[in-house]
């Protein structure tokens, strides 16, 4: 994403089309341009602007995942307060693709799972403890996918977990900011098909950042 965290509606439409079986898939991922400046520079302001634009998309755009009845009374998504401690910078340890990639099948909200390539893993620390998240790539395309669950899932956040953006920063590092954790589209409308985090991405910690459950 560019420096203003622009919510690219065209990319959302492309992302939906790219990850569908017969129905659309609930992963509104964004293309994020490489950030040359400090990734936390004016971060809070950018996050607030991003949330405002996302609310407008959900409320006004014809491609909104909300059902018509929900759009009429929609006042905005519910978030935890922004906490920049949840913005983690680091490197992705990529898995080898030779002699062949590592494949895995992620569960979905439908009967069939969806096959992905295991792209790599991201390590981070929270309160002195190290955690690990697996990053996946669809069989067609280069977009990276990072689903996760945590101790808030099913209580304060969507029960099947949330998704994370992977933002490139300077050098070979990335920024993974839990303040941008978002719900799959099937949280808003059951017609979408959404892959969920497998057990290897279930975090044994409460991540109180990003979007809360819709209802």
Assess whether pLDDT exceeds 80 at residue 171: no
Q: How many domains does the chain have?
A: 1
With respect to residue 160, please indicate whether it lies within any of the assigned structural domains. yes
Mean pLDDT in the chain?
Answer: 85
**Residue 175 near residue 87, CB atoms below 8 Å:** yes
Q: 81-136 pLDDT, tens per residue?
A: 999 999 999 999 999 999 999 999 999 999 899 999 999 999 999 999 999 999 99
Q: Give the range of the structural domain holding residue 115, as residue numbers without chain letter.
A: 9-201
pLDDT tens, 15-49?
A: 444 434 333 333 333 333 444 467 788 999 999 99
Asked whether residue 89 is assigned to any structural domain, the reply reads: yes
Residue 71 lies in a domain: yes
58 domain residue, yes or no: yes
The pair of structure tokens assigned to 107 is 């569960």
pTM value is 0.81
CB-CB contact of 151 with 21 (8 Å): no
Whether the Cβ atoms of residue 3 and residue 35 lie closer than 8 Å to each other: yes
Say if 82 falls within a structural domain. Answer: yes
Residue 141 lies in a domain: yes
**Residue 1: inside a domain:** no
Alpha-carbon gap, residue 165 to 111, rounded angstroms: 26
Q: What share of the chain is helix, strand, coil (3-state, %, to 5)?
A: 20, 30, 50
- Residue range 11-17: mean pLDDT, rounded: 39
pLDDT for residue 8: 44
Tokens of 41: 């520079």
Residue 17 belongs to a domain: yes
Q: What percent of the chain has pLDDT over 70?
A: 83
Angle at CA of residue 27, ends 163 and 94, nearest 5°:
60
């Amino acid at each position: 994403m560019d420096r203003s965290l622009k919510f690219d509606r065209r990319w959302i439409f492309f992302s939906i089309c790219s990850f569908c079986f017969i129905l659309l898939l609930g992963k509104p991922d964004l293309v994020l341009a490489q950030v040359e400046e400090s990734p936390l520079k004016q971060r809070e302001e950018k996050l607030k602007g991003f949330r405002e634009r996302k609310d407008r998309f959900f409320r006004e755009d014809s491609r909104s995942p909300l059902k018509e009845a929900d759009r009429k009374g929609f006042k905005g998504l519910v978030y935890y307060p922004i906490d920049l401690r949840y913005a983690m910078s680091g490197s992705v340890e990529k898995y080898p693709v030779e002699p062949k990639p590592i494949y895995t099948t992620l569960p979905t909200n439908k009967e069939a799972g969806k096959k992905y390539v295991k792209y790599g893993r991201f390590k981070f620390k929270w309160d002195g403890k190290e955690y690990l998240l697996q990053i996946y790539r669809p069989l067609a395309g280069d977009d990276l996918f990072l689903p996760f669950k945590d101790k808030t899932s099913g209580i304060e956040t969507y029960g099947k977990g949330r998704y994370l953006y992977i933002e490139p920063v300077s050098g070979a590092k990335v920024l993974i900011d839990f303040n941008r954790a978002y719900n799959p589209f099937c949280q808003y409308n059951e017609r979408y098909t959404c892959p969920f985090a497998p057990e290897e991405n279930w975090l044994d910690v409460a991540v109180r950042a990003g979007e809360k459950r819709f209802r």
